Amino acid sequence: MNLSSSIPTYPSTSSLPEVLPPLLMRPASAFPLEALTDAYNQTRIDYIIPMPMNVTRLREYIHNYDVALEHSAVALADDQILGLALLGIRPPRTWITRLGVLPVKRRRGTGQELMEYLITRSQDLQAQQIILEVIKNNTPAHTLFRKLGFEEIRELLVVRRPPRAALPSAPPYSARFLPSETALSLLQQRRSCPSWLDEFPSLCHAGNMKGLEVHLESGEWGWAVFQQTSFQLGRLVLQAETRDEEAVVRALLHALHTAHPHHDTTYENLPAADPYWPFMQEAGYLLSFTRIEMQLSLK
């Protein structure tokens, strides 16, 4: 007889499960924006891409992306915020964003409980689909989302172009900049399938949108819509309306960046399969990181 196998073993004190206070979910609307901002920044302190916010940025984020704080969640235990997650609503879809758990409070299921809360809220709102994005290589989050039934849709690129990056030559063109109203009307003709961040309501809410139209000598033409702030260009939408897309897109990028040489350009969530991405790279755009767009069907 193997003596050791007959001796009962007991868990050591150190391996006894910690008694955790009960986890409570509260609507994010019950908290001031300052508290939400602080909690959000704490959740991202050791994140792959930290992306901190201040109150102004969080307020803009809520406005631009139709985030409903009354349907968003804050996880609490012992009156301490453990984590939070926001819910954007554009019927019949919802969008889960800014999910985060404070580093010292992880590995106790808070992230999953937050997700389950927002999935239930989405069902209550009769949403047919929930969308979210996860940074590529954020394995814990990606695994959690798959476990909850989310499926990958596509990869999205977060790209940017520093000021004065070299521009390749473009075919001769004439360019005309367009006011906001005209720019937004151009978006009605958009063929590409944007992510939540660049959907029509997001661009309308964001404000400071401008347009650009270029015409080549050959008669081919295209347009761009973009956001212009003091130091940045962003939310770029490019579209060639003719067959020679390469020449038109090169002309659009040349006209845009020649007119705004001092502006830093950012673009979040460009679909990785976007046919214009290679031309953007030639114009000095760099990849910052990649996200994976995922969806959960509630039909």
Task: Give the interface with another protein as residue ranges (CB under 8 A).
Answer: 41, 45-54, 56-57, 160, 162-163, 165, 231-232, 262, 264, 266, 286, 288-289
Identify the H or E element spanning 253: helix 245-259
Rank residues 153 and 165 by Cβ distance to another protein and give the closer one: 165
Helices (H), 65-155: 110-124, 139-147
State whether residue 137 is helix, strand or coil: coil
The least distance separating another protein from the CB of residue 289, rounded to whole angstroms, comes to: 7
Rank residues 10 and 231 by Cβ distance to another protein and give the closer one: 231
Rank residues 112 and 137 by Cβ distance to another protein and give the closer one: 137
Give the Cα-Cα-Cα angle 255, 166, 249 (nearest 5 degrees): 40
Q: Which of 262, 237, 257 is nearest to 168 (CA)?
A: 257
The least distance separating another protein from the CB of residue 262, rounded to whole angstroms, comes to: 6
The least distance separating another protein from the CB of residue 201, rounded to whole angstroms, comes to: 23
State whether residue 5 is helix, strand or coil: helix
The least distance separating another protein from the CB of residue 197, rounded to whole angstroms, comes to: 15
Rank residues 30 and 45 by Cβ distance to another protein and give the closer one: 45
Half-sphere exposure of residue 96: CA atoms within 13 angstroms, side-chain side: 31
The least distance separating another protein from the CB of residue 230, rounded to whole angstroms, comes to: 9
Rank residues 57 and 176 by Cβ distance to another protein and give the closer one: 57
Largest distance between two CA atoms of the chain: 94
User: Could you give phi then psi for residue 20, rounded to 5 degrees?
Assistant: -100, 145
